Structure 1
């Protein structure tokens, strides 16, 4: 009797949408609201990571690049239209996280051309002088289309109430991944070339030259290493920020007029 009453109540309940296996099912309006709440949550997490970066920038960078950013990347793959709602999150990354990992912004107020240039560079892969933190406002839609194409065989089988052709699913998935990888590689190469030629108000000649030489130098391995103290891989706040400043051809802070390693100014 209790089970029947519970079932009747469930059938009469109006549900606009809900979370299911990490994604959203429901009306478009409820989906937008759900994504907005997630974006607000992620922006808050990025802000907390940026605050922690004041005392532990190396660990904060690892937390975002190796863990936190994959939360919104997953939602972007399974929820359509999320890209247009990522503005708050991207703003927090540009205005709080990136400056916290370096020496801070040159000025308060709106981002300068140099701030925008640094954020654009940070979106590049680490091997190209970036930080490997892409802009969610530019990648979400592409990720969703790739995910939809990769799972197309399963979707069609479910809609037709047919058995899933595993071989066809694998074939389409591989094709979608290859196409996505090639498209991303092409876009990254164009962006890398653009950023390497923007000397002027956005960046200095030395900074642009550093971007152009990043492929040949291959000096970014330290940034991808997990900062484990027991292995001696964690850098102190000063060590990390000085390394980041030198990486982007800025000036180190404090009384350090020369590099402690090579003696150069």
Structure 2
């Protein structure tokens, strides 16, 4: 309804009347053209806006001009309350203006994000599963919009990548393994390919900006042409999205194949196992405690170590049975109990499912030890 009401105002200030190209997004109205035409446009907005419930706020209105037209802009908008600038201004989550202003804006955003990564790193020391989920489902989405709307900012995002690599990952993984370039690249891959989708912001910036430009090209042309009646071809946009998705997946597969050629055979084998159906569900699901989807600190750290074949902390060098110990031996040693645990888990799961539909379901009782007792039998 608000958009319909605003369309009445746009009829009064249309491009055909005052030669100002404009676009409206909710209550944000933006126009572009010559300064003299923009002055007429602003006057009409103030005159006709309140009649339909749109009251322009001069203190929040910014006129961005080229340096050579700054004096003219100040003169024409003198007394209007509109701020005139030749540097630029933040606009709808991005920024319009000089390269210096863009760099300053991104640096400020990166500084805030680095602080948030630091806070999340502190959380990862006690709740790594929750911290991982917060990063992949929340925090790293914050810089996606900036990467899409502001070009050539890969260099400005490097401090953020350094914070992720040197602060967040060590706190999250708690491993003595050095996180080199290959390990970092592996962790950026999606879980279905054996990674953890902890993306590298500086490496994706250029690609996401290019994809955003391609996806919005049709809409951009309509705005420039001031074509308010035509409709964008949603099927074409959908096909373009599919093409971009396929290209990204192909690049990820190529990256994985390159990593397989330089990593240890044991690590490659672990990656193949992690690519099995359902093997990464514990990473992609939300850690909802009520559903039993949460892993405590030790469980999460051990799960990541087992996923990539990294050393598991706290495993004794020698098993209780007397042989040298490692992760594989702890899973198969008859004295360690894991064989019985795996058996009991299958037994208990089957029993719980049967209890949903059957009565008097019980599991085999634990046999009491026979130490000190005579066992006789007769035929």
Band of TM-score, shorter chain:
0.7 to 0.9
Structure 1, unaligned stretches of length 5 or more?
A: 107-111
1:164–1:90 Cα change, 3 Å: farther
Match of 1:246 in 2: 306
Structure 2, unaligned stretches of length 5 or more?
A: 1-55, 60-76, 317-324, 332-336, 341-379
| 3-state secondary structure, aligned to 2:152 | coil
Match of 1:78 in 2: 149
Matched, 1:194 2:258: yes
Q: Is the 1:157–1:164 Cα contact (8 Å) retained in structure 2? A: no
Q: Is the 1:154–1:164 Cα contact (8 Å) retained in structure 2? A: no
Match of 1:21 in 2: 92
Matched, 1:182 2:246: yes
User: RCO higher in 1 or 2 (8 Å CA, sep ≥ 6)?
Assistant: 1
1:217–1:179 Cα change, 3 Å: closer
Deviation string 1:23-81 (CA, Å, 9 cap, x unpaired) is: 22222221111011111111111121111100100000000000000001121112212
Matched, 1:140 2:211: no
Match of 1:151 among 187, 200, 216: 216
Match of 1:222 in 2: 282
How many Å apart are 1:182 and its aligned residue? 1.6
Match of 2:106 in 1: 35
How many Å apart are 1:213 and its aligned residue? 4.2
Q: CA-atom RMSD, angstroms?
A: 2.5
Larger radius of gyration: 2
Query: Which one has a larger percent helix, Structure 1 or Structure 2?
Result: 1
1:140–1:12 Cα change, 3 Å: closer
Partners of 1:55 and 1:246 in 2: how far apart? Answer: 19
TM-score calculated relative to the size of structure 1: 0.85
Matched, 1:95 2:166: yes
How many Å apart are 1:132 and its aligned residue? 1.0
How many Å apart are 1:147 and its aligned residue? 1.0
Partners of 1:158 and 1:19 in 2: how far apart? Answer: 20
Partners of 2:130 and 2:58 in 1: how far apart? Answer: 53
TM-score calculated relative to the size of structure 2: 0.61
Partners of 2:136 and 2:235 in 1: how far apart? Answer: 30
How many Å apart are 1:212 and its aligned residue? 3.8
Aligned length: 250
Match of 1:234 in 2: 294
- Runs of 4+ aligned structure 1 residues displaced above 6 Å come to 3-7
